Amino acid sequence: MKIFQTDEIRNVALIGAAKSGKTTLAENMLFEGKVINRKGSVDDKNTVSDYRQIEMDRQISVNASLLHTLHEGKKINILDAPGFSDYTGDILSSVSVADTAIFTVNGQNGVEATTENAWRQAEKTAKPVVFFINQLDHHNANFDESVKQLRDYFGDKVTLTQYPVRTGEGFDSIIDLMLMKMLKFKQGGGAPEVLEIPAGEMEKAEKLHRNLIENAAEGDEALMEKYFETDNLDLNEVRHGIQMGMISRSIFPVFCGASKHGIGVHRLMDFIVFTCPAPNCMPARKTTSGKEFHCKSSEPAALFIFKLANEQHLGEVSMIKAYGGEIFEGQDLINPRTGNKERISQLLIVNGKTREKIERIVAGDIAVTIKLKDARANDTLIDAKFADAGFEPIVYPDPIFTTAVKAASSTDDEKLGSILQDMHRSDPTFNAGLSRELRQLIIQCQGEYHMNTVKWYLDHVYKLDAEFYSPKIAYRETITKAAKADYRHKKQSGGSGQFGEVHMMIQPYFEGYKDPTDFPVRGKEEHILSWGGKLIFNNCIVGGSIDARFMPAILKGIMERLEEGPLTGSYARDIVVYVYDGKMHPVDSNEISFKLAGRHAFIAAFKNAGPKIMEPIYDMAVRMPEEMMGSVMTDLQGRRAVIMGMDSDNKYQIIRAKVPLAEMDRYSTSLSAITSGRGTFTMKYAEYAQVPSDVQTKLLKEYEEKLKEDE
């Protein structure tokens, strides 16, 4: 393939709601560019983009696909991103390296919940946006209502550059406000027939054309001055003004079409090539040390790995964008994260599963490389002279859905853990790890649909049977008052026996607590617990009733029990222990005896010290359309949430609340059902608080029953 220079490259991400026609649009763009000679369809499961088995089975995009096409001597790199919000990571990765986001909107449905999610990702990256109102050949399509909704949600920067002569069956003609011509398309695509605007449309077209020119002029001061002087701009000036306005996000052009029949696609590609910014027209990308790269071949060689994927017959592949210099086979670059050298063994230009080797790419281009030793998504590979810092990373959203998983057969436990770690490498929004505290393998992801994708891969690709279930809650146990207890451990079985007796008192730990005056504190140890809180261990032995050499054993017995609290087996915390008396035997006393005596004395004292169970409380912000606020609030109150306040955000309301983690299982699914997918939320750990008495009683009973089952 030809080596395209930076100004000959356009990088676009196709984003938008599920079922808005992104993959079909991509297929038609490849067909228009003669990269493929036959168009596939989602229904027939033969598109270039959705080539993975899971995508063919579900007839939706699950992973972002890298494609390219040609138009007017230019190369258009296309990232076809998924539509469902659960795959936000791939949407964000795609938009982060694209120079324009082509935003598909279903002309029947207008702005949908997943439309808003895709918009938020484009907004985070501050990338130019073009709206393509699609599926206008459907009898339910409503172009004017779709535009109205776009303006309601995204503001007056939404600017018409086209509108349909009519929608529904027979849709084939578009009034183009940049060209001031009517474009009539053939079914199947291709260049349109260029006609004069009908007289009945001229008044409307001139009014909208004037609005377009005014908005374009605002993109550049020189154009604004010329517009004031001449009251007009030529086509190239309009293109330049729109491009500048897109870069500054002061204009969001609107195009229209029906990608299934190729209507509007050729003209959209014209716009991408002649108006959308080339990589070197975009703002510089900075490294963490502040160095700027402007996508110029004269700059040092530098690339950014924006996505990893596992491909059949290739293994792990790295999708890369060059931000400086030239990248070529055999080149050695440094990974600033590791400080190690990575060699570019191969470069591939891809269209879905079709791959073509290429010797080099220049700054601004996107490609795939393989066989990197230790590369991850978000890594930079750069010339050794500038390897002090990498590019600023993509900030992925926090997980909002948590579940536990285990292999159906314990012999597959290690294999399951390895598979999940590989999935995390390919998808940074998916996390998996073994919780030592909960004794569960925990998965965190972006929603139930995301989790079901993991299930699909385990079932169909890895052939591993796994069980998914609700995770345990990381409760904490502590006490509310002081209590004393003693315990004698005595065991005789011939020869040396075991003997140890410990008397102790415990009391709650809090800032400013006071030691009792009953007995002197001769030695104090403060232990900050890894799970939060403290243990203060005091040696109050007088007269040598317990030898000092046995005190560490007593402490060890207590610490072991703190890791498995007496009430529910959860971690215990914030306790002050006083060992004030005991007995030894000159022959039978040893460390194990005092460890067991200390352990049992602690359990007895704990149960008499007003024990309580603490639960994790999270600060939560729920964002939903204002008309749905009542339903969301009712649901939250049913989850023992305490409403802390409310804010407004345009058409949305934000409820701020404190809510127990125990009540949040599968909340993302519930919120989606209540708000028809438009609700979003964030959670952040706040504190531990005492559970209500009825909840504590229930937890104690459940733990007792579990212990009986384990006997």
Q: Residue 87 has what DSSP assignment?
A: G
List, in sequence order, every residue forming a beta bridge with 105; answer none if it has no partner: 133
pLDDT surpasses 90 at 130: yes
Place of tokens 């007269």: 543
- Quick one: pLDDT at residue 189? 87
Identify whether the C-beta of residue 327 lies closer than 8 Å to the C-beta of residue 303. yes
Q: Is residue 392 part of a domain?
A: no
Same domain, yes or no: 342 and 230: no
- Quick one: pLDDT at residue 494? 66
Same domain, yes or no: 625 and 570: no
- Per-residue pLDDT of 280-294, as tens digits, reads 999 999 999 999 999
Same domain, yes or no: 160 and 263: yes
- Quick one: pLDDT at residue 12? 98
- Quick one: pLDDT at residue 156? 92
What is the arithmetic mean of pLDDT over 431-459? 94
Place of tokens 């017995």: 557
Residue 651 confidence class, pLDDT cut points 50, 70, 90: confident
pLDDT surpasses 90 at 334: yes
Mean pLDDT of the chain: 94
- Quick one: pLDDT at residue 231? 84
Q: Is residue 700 part of a domain?
A: no
At what angle are helices 448-460 and 413-426 packed, to 10 degrees?
120
pLDDT surpasses 90 at 97: yes
Same domain, yes or no: 465 and 482: no
Same domain, yes or no: 132 and 276: yes
End residue of a domain, out of 444, 469, 494: 469
Q: Is the pTM of this model over 0.85?
A: yes
pLDDT surpasses 80 at 1: no
Q: Is residue 580 part of a domain?
A: yes
- Quick one: pLDDT at residue 427? 93
Same domain, yes or no: 375 and 412: no
Same domain, yes or no: 269 and 369: no
d(CA 134, CA 159): 16
What is the arithmetic mean of pLDDT over 696-705? 92
pLDDT surpasses 80 at 313: no
CATH of the domain at 335: 2.40.30.10
Angle at 114 between CA 26 and CA 105, to 5 degrees: 50
Same domain, yes or no: 181 and 79: yes
- Quick one: pLDDT at residue 650? 78
SS (H, E, C) 287-319: ECCCCEECCECCCCCEEEEEEEEEECCCEEEEE
d(CA 527, CA 530): 9
Structural domains in the chain (count)? 5
- Quick one: pLDDT at residue 711? 61
Same domain, yes or no: 271 and 297: no
Burial of 221 (0-12, 13-18, 19+ CB in 10 A): exposed
Residue 222 confidence class, pLDDT cut points 50, 70, 90: confident
What is the arithmetic mean of pLDDT over 375-390? 94
Q: Residue 451 has what DSSP assignment?
A: H
Residue 114 confidence class, pLDDT cut points 50, 70, 90: confident
Residue 639 confidence class, pLDDT cut points 50, 70, 90: very high
Q: Residue-wise over 431-451: b if at least 16 C-beta within 10 A, else e?
A: bbeeeeeeebbbbbbbbebbb
- Per-residue pLDDT of 246-256, as tens digits, reads 999 999 999 99
CATH of the domain at 666: 3.30.70.240
Q: Is residue 701 part of a domain?
A: no
Percent of the chain with pLDDT over 90: 87
- Quick one: pLDDT at residue 707? 81
pLDDT surpasses 70 at 699: yes
d(CA 181, CA 197): 5
Identify whether the C-beta of residue 409 lies closer than 8 Å to the C-beta of residue 303. no
CATH of the domain at 168: 3.40.50.300
- Per-residue pLDDT of 405-419, as tens digits, reads 999 999 999 999 999
What is the arithmetic mean of pLDDT over 345-369? 95
Q: Is residue 1 part of a domain?
A: no
End residue of a domain, out of 440, 469, 498: 469
What is the arithmetic mean of pLDDT over 425-432? 94
What is the arithmetic mean of pLDDT over 174-186? 97
Percent of the chain with pLDDT over 70: 100
pLDDT surpasses 90 at 310: no
| Alpha helix (H) residue ranges in 218-345 | 221-230, 235-247, 265-274
Q: Is residue 492 part of a domain?
A: yes
What is the arithmetic mean of pLDDT over 466-491? 95
Residue 511's CB: how many other CB atoms inside 10 A? 4
pLDDT surpasses 80 at 496: no
Torsion sign (Cα): 679, 685, 687, 690: positive
Residue 314's CB: how many other CB atoms inside 10 A? 16
Identify whether the C-beta of residue 136 lies closer than 8 Å to the C-beta of residue 104. no
- Quick one: pLDDT at residue 90? 95
CATH of the domain at 406: 3.30.70.870
Same domain, yes or no: 99 and 222: yes
Q: Which domain holds residue 438?
A: 402-469
- Quick one: pLDDT at residue 244? 95
Residue 117 confidence class, pLDDT cut points 50, 70, 90: confident
pLDDT surpasses 70 at 507: yes
Q: Is residue 12 part of a domain?
A: yes
Same domain, yes or no: 170 and 239: yes
Same domain, yes or no: 545 and 589: yes
End residue of a domain, out of 281, 298, 313: 281
Q: Is residue 68 part of a domain?
A: yes
